[in-house]
Structure 1
Amino acid sequence: MSIAILSIHRGGPGEAPRRDVFEVPFEAGQSVLDGLRWVREHTDPGLAMRYACLNANACKECMMRLDGAVIYACTARLEAREMRLDPLPNKPLLRDLVTAIAPPDERPPDAA
């Protein structure tokens, strides 16, 4: 069986960032979001990521960086190699792969 290796940024504001590496069973056609959901279900339920729909590319909740390029995790394809996942640049980090994506005037008063 082939595997995908996800190297994922971990931590939140005020914490030293770290990387955790997970081996995920790989099947052709899977999305990066499928791999992240597998990690949360089978290995680390504390992994913070955001998504609202699957494979629709309409909500934009699952935006993150893959090997430095901004992608939608629901449409980017998982590959049988090491893939580096990071939060969006230039956005306030909430935790792990989650950033504050709403414009400041649309956020609740207590949100980052």
Structure 2
Amino acid sequence: MSAPVTNSEKTAPITIQRGAPGEEPWMETYDVPWRPGMSVLDAIVWVRTHADSSVAFRYSCVSANACKECMVAVNGKTVYACTERLSEDGSEVGPLKNKTLIRDLVTDIVPPKENLRTILAERAKG
């Protein structure tokens, strides 16, 4: 399901877990142009721009490691997608396991005490 990559470009596979709450998750693999030092976030952005605009993920800044918006699981390890390097042999990317899934790689990262429902429930108690 990847967009064409020219024959002269080196590629690497990135496998992304897809799905939403109530659905059986599935994996989709995309071949992305690979270069040394390329981040997992670079690869996901490439996929969404060139191969599949429906891939859901969140990020706010690139290579700053400050916002925590791009946290995902890469090969089972929790990382920042903006600082984790895409393996030349490929990487498997999924949502954070300990957070509520919204869709694809997007999870609810708001701390429970800052969640609007929690705040409104606390206010209703008096």
- Normalization by structure 1: what TM-score? 0.93
Runs of 4+ that moved beyond 3 A: none
Q: Aligned partners of 2:90 and 2:37: how far apart in 1? A: 17
Larger Rg: 2
- SS of 1:75's equivalent? coil
Deviations 1:53-84 (A, max 9, x none): 00000000000000000010000111211211
Contact 1:3 1:81 in 2 (8 A): no
Question: Alignment partner for residue 74 of structure 1, among 82, 85, 89?
Answer: 82
Match of 1:17 in 2: 25
Q: Aligned partners of 2:87 and 2:33: how far apart in 1? A: 10
2:49 is the counterpart of 1:41: yes
Q: By how many angstroms is 1:108 displaced?
A: 3.1
Match of 2:109 in 1: 101
2:19 is the counterpart of 1:3: no
Q: Aligned partners of 2:67 and 2:79: how far apart in 1? A: 13
- Normalization by structure 2: what TM-score? 0.83
Question: Alignment partner for residue 65 of structure 1, among 60, 67, 73?
Answer: 73
Q: By how many angstroms is 1:15 displaced?
A: 0.6
Q: Aligned partners of 2:92 and 2:13: how far apart in 1? A: 8
Match of 2:93 in 1: 85
Q: By how many angstroms is 1:105 displaced?
A: 2.6
2:58 is the counterpart of 1:50: yes
Q: Aligned partners of 1:10 and 1:102: how far apart in 2? A: 21
* Aligned sequence identity (%): 49
List gaps (5 residues or longer) in structure 2: 1-8, 118-126
Give the structure with the higher percent helix: 2
Q: Aligned partners of 1:106 and 1:49: how far apart in 2? A: 21
Which one scores higher on RCO, CA 8 angstroms, separation ≥ 6? 1
Q: Aligned partners of 1:107 and 1:37: how far apart in 2? A: 28
User: What value does the CA root-mean-square deviation take over the aligned residues?
Assistant: 0.9
